[in-house]
Structure 1
Amino acid sequence: MQIKSSSSLTQGEPGVLHHITSRLTAFEYTRGSRQKPHSIIFIGGLSDGLGTVEYTSDLVAGLEDTQWTLINLVLSCSYNGWGMGRLGADIDEIARCVQYIREYKEPHYGPSKIVLMGSSTGSQDVLHYLHCPNPRSAHPILDRDWTPVTRPPIEGAIMQAPVSDREGILQEISNGTDRDSPVQMRELYERAVAAARGRTFEDEVDTVVPLSVTARIGYSTTTPVSSRRFLSLISPDSPGHPTEDDLFSSDLSDGRLAETFGMVGVRGLLRQKLLVLYSGRDQSVPPEVNKQALIERWAKAIDADGSSFWDRRSLVIPNASHQLSDPDQAEPRRILVRTVKGFLEDLEEQ
């Protein structure tokens, strides 16, 4: 889900700007004037970019005395690009970043460990990277000139605020706004779904849901959203037939979880552990969702074959907001940093 926040990295941070390709960049924070062998590649959520997730400053500070650096990847779908983006394109870019970082660091430091960390919709990227075929399947329209990308394995993965975009937007609709009642919001939503279904592509190009509609049902007033991405995010046929983006909804069946979390071991792209950090009072999660029970279902699904990918530190962080950006988030941030550091220490020892 898209949560507006301001960056706390306002006074500048030293680092290295990596040009992975001519249009794909990542910024490695090097506080302490040195680079290190191991890397967390950080992927933000909808509308995020470089330094927009406030707790990254806490992570940078917390990692200063470790062998890990934080690398903020700026995807093609970052900032306002998410409305025309898709998880398939994201994981191709993430794969290029993982390969680049290994080739960049290992000649200098020897074996390098890499962790993918996603925040909010970035968590969808992380799970998509781990569970879908490698290389991924081609889209019949969007990938006509696509060259398959084979994803390299990673040592660890972290998902922070892995929430359901579908449940979040339905909550917005059921609450209504000062302008529109829940009934009016529902009518707008259903008309948008019907229009998007009826004309998802035109001349093999994405169509766009009118801003006048998407802005009124909870999305940004300045971000064009394609009919294809709109349908993927809201997944109108769920829970029976979930879309690519519908990975974390609380009403998904055990069978669906077996196709996502349960495929992590089959794909062989996660060498060690997955850590999940769910926010205890996430504004994007309906109040009736049992957060602890949900992550326990994920743990059961990922280790159903007897493997041990689920990290025992995974938890619902008490009082944590969506991206830990509210004024009262000092203690949730401390918990996040402490938990991540413990996770990384164990990865180093294995």
Structure 2
Amino acid sequence: MHVRIQSTATPKTPCPGILHEYAERLVAFEYSSSTNHTKPHTLLFIAGLGDGLGTVDYLTDIVAALEDTEWSVFSPILSSAYGGWGMSGLGKDIDEIAQCVQYIERYKHASIADTAAGPGKIVIMGHSTGSQDVMQYISAPNPRHPHSRPKLDRAPPIVRPQVDGAIMQAPVSDRQAIQSVLKEGSDRHSPEDMQKIYDDAVARARRHTFEEYDGLDTIIPLPVTASIGYPETTAVSSRRFLSLASPDSPGAPGEDDLFSSDLGDERLKKTFGMVHGRGVLRSSLLVLYSGKDHSVPPWVEKGVLLWRWRRVTDSERVYWHDQSGIIPGASHTLSGPHQVEQRRVLVHKVTRFLSDIELPPE
């Protein structure tokens, strides 16, 4: 299906492309100005918490930079897109990403006449919580172990196809972002009131995670989640709230708690340290951290954190790409006229990475 979406970037311009149904009731948008040429390589972009199609402004910069290359850009709309994140989870995300990768492999193979050069490359890129998805995709058991979840949500996990590269942009800790909000308070609540609201929400979620014989998720009251900083109209299940808040961390982190600065090496070995053993990532990993990310508390030492992640990831084989690192002055989303230079740096690093992925292995 050929459609045009309206970009949220300024100035707003139409983005031509193709809408693909990659699984039942799941679609992905392929940014494409030409319907006559199917590019062999794919950048699969996974947006963050609350995001959807066209909501991450810098993606249009990446699409423009790749216009004259052999890379096309796909943006899947997962079940967790927009407000769906509150009732979803990383496990379901990576299963749907795996379905999208499978679809792209079939689609590219059927659409490209010259297959003598072999299959095209596929790179997955995540923004914010999309980075959690990327890390889970390349490090979790394959197929993943089903996590404790309602009986109505226990479809068999999917075997994830290999990908040639992975990019994590703004991989931040939701738990530490919540802690920062609690420490600072808000216009309506003092830090003491915020802490009480949070403690009550955690206690309630632990007592009543599921209802109806574990068949249904329970919902944290909207005034509670709104007070903590989540959108007033987004329903958040007790299960997802406990995963994001991860109140037993750092000793027993929740599924979403992958990037907190206080996680010990043993925890990192089970995430970053499993990239090599899973065999899902064929080539390289690019990690791009924003220098002025408002979601990162000021006490986090960004350089030290990235060094720890890299040391664990590369313990058996070098995966980290040399373009990885902190983008000075970059905000969480790199949006707005004051982030033009930061977006330029981001695009340069991403295109350099993709060019290297194209090269044959040494």
Q: Specify if TM > 0.5.
A: yes
1:237 corresponds, among 238, 244, 248, to 248
Moved over 6 A (4+): none
C-alpha distance in structure 1 between counterparts of 2:322 and 2:174, whole Å: 26
Kindly indicate whether residue 185 of structure 2 is the aligned counterpart of residue 183 of structure 1. Answer: no
Q: CA deviation at 1:35?
A: 3.0
Partner of 1:249: 260
The letter of the residue matching 1:8 is A
Deviations 1:203-229 (A, max 9, x none): 121000000000011111110000000
Partner of 1:218: 229
C-alpha distance in structure 2 between counterparts of 1:22 and 1:36, whole Å: 25
Number of residue-to-residue matches in the alignment = 344
User: Which 5+ residue runs of structure 1 have no aligned equivalent?
Assistant: 1-5
2:20 corresponds, among 3, 6, 18, to 18
User: Which 5+ residue runs of structure 2 have no aligned equivalent?
Assistant: 1-6
TM-score normalised per structure 1:
0.96
Q: CA deviation at 1:7?
A: 1.7
1:128 corresponds, among 127, 133, 136, to 136
C-alpha distance in structure 2 between counterparts of 1:281 and 1:155, whole Å: 30
The letter of the residue matching 2:58 is Y
Evaluate the alpha carbon distance shift between residue 161 and residue 240 of structure 1 in structure 2; reply closer, same or farther with a 3 A threshold: same
Task: Let me know the Cα RMSD of the aligned residues.
Answer: 1.3
Partner of 2:322: 312
Partner of 2:4: none
Deviations 1:180-214 (A, max 9, x none): 01111001000100000111001121000000000
Secondary structure of 1:277 counterpart: strand
Deviations 1:257-288 (A, max 9, x none): 00000001100000000000100000000011
C-alpha distance in structure 2 between counterparts of 1:225 and 1:93, whole Å: 20
Deviations 1:164-188 (A, max 9, x none): 0000011011111111011110010
For the Cα contact (< 8 Å) 2:38–2:108, is it kept in 1? no
Evaluate the alpha carbon distance shift between residue 316 and residue 143 of structure 1 in structure 2; reply closer, same or farther with a 3 A threshold: farther
2:31 corresponds, among 29, 32, 36, to 29
For the Cα contact (< 8 Å) 1:32–1:64, is it kept in 2? no
C-alpha distance in structure 2 between counterparts of 1:73 and 1:35, whole Å: 18
Q: CA deviation at 1:304?
A: 1.1
For the Cα contact (< 8 Å) 2:290–2:332, is it kept in 1? yes
C-alpha distance in structure 1 between counterparts of 2:30 and 2:281, whole Å: 22
The letter of the residue matching 1:90 is D
Alignment of 1:271-282 (within 5 A): 271-282=282-293
Partner of 2:303: 292
C-alpha distance in structure 2 between counterparts of 1:191 and 1:140, whole Å: 22
1:334 corresponds, among 334, 340, 344, to 344
